[in-house]
Structure 1
Amino acid sequence: MARSSGRRKEATESGGGGSSSNSSSTRKDAAEAAPSKMRLRRRPALADISAAVGNNQGGAAAAAGAGAGSKPGARKTVRCQACCWVGCNRQRATGKGSGGSERLAAAAAAAATASLIAETAAREARLKRCKVPPSEISEHDVVDRDDPIACAEYAMDMYRRYKELEEKYTPTVYMHTQVDINCKMRAILIDWIVEVHLKFKLADPTLYLTCHIIDRFCMQENVHRSKLQLVGVTALLIACKYEEIFPTEVRDCVYITDHAYTREEVLEMEQTILRRLKFELTVPTQWTFLVRFLKIAKATDRQHHRAQYYLERCLQEHEALSFRPSMLAAASVFLARIPDSGIKNAWPDALAKFCNTPREGLECCARLMIKFLLDEPVTASQRHLVAVKKKFLGERFLAVAIDDLPTLPRKPNIASN
């Protein structure tokens, strides 16, 4: 028994020593390989991979020599030389008489490298095919060719798609179908929405989408006057979720209504509106076309703010729904350019060719827009709705609300649509 215990003790000590030696050798190899691993994390260029193929045989031969010189029974970890070019962490164990294993490993490494070369070449070929030639990019978008956010390659396709969707989703006049609300109630609601939008510092597209949601819902549903503000604040919540990075919360919507509605009522109305609209919120609004037209016209900052002021003023008018969003946007740009370019040059050839809008219809819409600007909306209690005017009296918008309104020659009205 004593001899057996002694033998087990000696075996344990000898085994533990061998394990310690192997682990220290592995840690040493890993420490040597660590800088190389950190240095080679980037994806290699095609030329680097090709150079690596030529070095495969040399790396394999060096590994074979290291394996042949090792002691019998010892195991040595060698990094795969061929794959180190792509940050490979695979390791293989070599020992006495492992020449066949070395050749297999070298062949596998060469195959992996060749596969990587083929994959890289295929990726470059796909990118080359996807790149739109300059001839297919609009002359107005060439300057944004290298801007991924501008999507210059798809700008014209997007505009054509917006024109198609405009015919499908644009709301029309609907007050004749409503029983309990009228145009002045709608104007009060939009005026309040403009104030809330400015107070919360929301994005411009959010305001236009909010009004779009309100009108599309009211076209399909009879709304009681006690629920009209609930529809408006819920539409604002939905538009914020669609457009904003940090959308307004439900509790904020309850707060701005002075707790006239509960959280549950807002959430229930949100479900009702989305079901009624079939969750179709990707629609073109006046803002969608305004941004495009201002870019083509190369408008100044003042012209931009003027056009935006004219367009937001029309949001309060139910009569403006008789025009399509693209026509309203075009008319606002036309009016904004008159003080600087004159009435003859207010509608440049580039815009006329791009929009394909008849001059007569454009001027008809512009006259109605001037009428809206001259006649401030008044409620039944003789309260003026001036939220839009106050907004554009600020320095941020260059106080364009005090600019003189353009005038147009008197001509007979022509149907716009």
Structure 2
Amino acid sequence: MDDFVRNHDLVDGTLHHAVAYVDRVLSVRAMRKHTDHELRLLAAPTIFVSAKYEDGQRTLAKLDPDKISWYVGGSATREEVLDVERRMVVALGYQLGGPTAHTFVSRFTKHAQGEEELKIQRMAHRLADESLRNYACLGHLPSVVASSAIFLARSALLNLPDVPAWSSEIQELTGYDVTNLAGCLHAMRPVAHL
């Protein structure tokens, strides 16, 4: 899914929503088979729906059901892709919004100013993206993953002894003390290479 999002230059946040959609669909509807084809046939339309949700018309200029069927390996038809998309949206109860770790990183860093803070924001987004590949991060709330990503980014990029990686202002903004993030931080450290 990550390669597909990158290859088609889809907007930030698309992958996070797509992964959330797959998780939500599989929690309410079991797959008949767990083959690579079936998983791709679910994943590709979730990316398409997520990209449309995130970027609307620009996505439609980049993708269509024929390109989505190609991602499935060329073995799916346009009609199959559209059918899976319809069934997926119904399984989601037409609720396509919802916060993701990407959403929370953006919210928690929306007032970032200056080169150092923008570097922290970019690194936190990358770490949140990497958390999607880390099974140990799946059990944590998106806000915890985002807060942990910000903490790790600040720890890696702020090499000033008088500037803490976590402050009372950040704690108030996120709602988390560092001790609340311990489990997620432990899971994310290998991804952050710290």
TM bucket by the smaller chain? 0.7 to 0.9
Match of residue 198 from structure 1: 6
Distance 1:353 1:301 in 2: 20
Distance 1:246 1:296 in 2: 26
Q: Does the CA contact (< 8 Å) of 2:112 and 2:121 recur in 1?
A: no
Match of residue 330 from structure 1: 147
Q: Does the CA contact (< 8 Å) of 2:65 and 2:81 recur in 1?
A: yes
Distance 2:134 2:157 in 1: 27
Distance 1:307 1:215 in 2: 23
TM-score (norm 1): 0.42
Deviation at 1:206, TM superposition (A): 1.2
Alignment of 1:243-392 (within 5 A): 243-244=54-55, 245-247=57-59, 248-296=63-111, 298=113, 300-341=117-158, 345-371=164-190, 373=191
Alignment of 1:180-219 (within 5 A): 193-219=1-27
The AA in structure 2 aligned to 1:272 is: R
- The gaps in structure 1 that reach 5 residues or longer are 1-192, 375-404, 407-417
- The gaps in structure 2 that reach 5 residues or longer are none
Match of residue 48 from structure 1: none
Distance 1:296 1:350 in 2: 13
User: Identity, % of aligned pairs?
Assistant: 23
Aligned residues between the structures: 183
Distance 1:340 1:284 in 2: 26
Match of residue 225 from structure 1: 34
Distance 1:311 1:305 in 2: 10
TM-score (norm 2): 0.86
Larger RCO of the pair (alpha carbons < 8 Å, separation 6+): 2
Distance 2:29 2:189 in 1: 31
Distance 1:260 1:346 in 2: 49
Distance 2:66 2:95 in 1: 25
**1:248-296 per-position Cα deviation (integer Å, ceiling 9, x unaligned):** 2111101222312111111111111111111001211111110111235
Find the residue that maps to 2:58 and give its secondary structure.
coil
Distance 2:148 2:181 in 1: 6
Q: Does the CA contact (< 8 Å) of 2:69 and 2:77 recur in 1?
A: yes
Larger Rg: 1 or 2?
Answer: 1
Q: Does the CA contact (< 8 Å) of 2:101 and 2:146 recur in 1?
A: yes
Match of residue 242 from structure 1: 53
Alignment of 1:16-35 (within 5 A): none
Distance 1:268 1:314 in 2: 30
Q: Does the CA contact (< 8 Å) of 2:69 and 2:78 recur in 1?
A: yes
Alignment of 1:20-169 (within 5 A): none
Find the residue that maps to 2:158 and give its secondary structure.
helix
